[in-house]
Amino acid sequence: MLEVNEYARVMQKFYSKSLILESPSDFHPVLHFYFIDALAHIDFTLGLQAYNFMSPRNIMNMEYMRWRVDEEKIGDRVHFPDFINWLKEEKPEVFDKLPMLWTGVYDRDDPAQYQSFRIVLNPDDRKPIPSEYLSMFIDEFFDREFLKQLYSTSTLARLFDKYVQGRTA
């Protein structure tokens, strides 16, 4: 690892988080996938900044990230990006409460994206994403109110299921 830099400190913050007070087995399967996926992208982006590119940690992360590309095409997961855009148009009050990483990456009008598995806010900017953004993403994904929305019985989960039913009917 490089000297303890700002990214290593954010990584320590990230790994101090826990879902011990939650029941991930009760999370909606698609929302759970994209929650874990976002955490993996945060971890990958942090790892690239905190460790050298060819560290075993980053090599293992790259292998996982390649696997997940096919996983997002399975079942109802394929509807998630369109669901985010539907929320933006039809339920802006729900959209506005989602984590910024989800709304940025999946909103067709936002330049943010996963580029080679790392988080990029602006594809034209070659500088690494500021550590403050990654810290904010972590806070949003572990916010108690957001975590409640991951459960299968939540408003967000029910909206997603209704959205998918409308697409597949």
**Beta strands per DSSP E along 50-148:** 113-115, 118-120
* Domain spans of the chain, in order of start: 28-168
**CB-based contact 131:49 (threshold 8 Å):** yes
Q: Phi, psi (5° rounding) for residue 91?
A: -135, 65
| Average pLDDT of adjacent 10-residue blocks, the chain of 169 residues | 75 95 96 96 90 82 83 93 97 97 96 87 89 97 97 98 88
pTM: 0.89
